[in-house]
Amino acid sequence: MAEAYLIGQIRVRDSAKWAEYVAAVGDTLTPWGAEVVFRGRKANSFSGDTPFQTVVVIRFPTLQAVDDWHASAAYQALIPLRDEAAEVVLQAWEN
């Protein structure tokens, strides 16, 4: 099976709430064998532009694990906080 990646593009609206969300989301990833590969802020745009200032890349062992994580009660409980804190686009990609 191919591993999968969750890519999040983020525009933070409330830094305090975003910090609360980031502190909590890690625990939701552990049961699914996921790990944060990269989290960073945009430094330069060489071609095109995006309204998002932050990106996160999370590796999962399978696409099914991404789906199961996203549907999990633990993650679903964080979505209202996430949505208050930031505009977020999440996409799953399979390798």
Q: Decide if pLDDT at 1 tops 80.
A: no
Mean pLDDT across 62-76:
97
Domain covering 4-42+52-94: architecture: 2-Layer Sandwich (3.30)
Domain boundary assignment for the chain: 4-42+52-94
- d(Cα 17, Cα 82) in Å, to the nearest integer? 8
Q: 10-60 pLDDT, tens per residue?
A: 999 999 999 999 999 999 999 999 999 999 999 898 999 888 999 999 999
Global pTM? 0.92
- DSSP letter assigned to residue 67: H
More confidently predicted of 51 and 90: 90
- d(Cα 32, Cα 65) in Å, to the nearest integer? 6
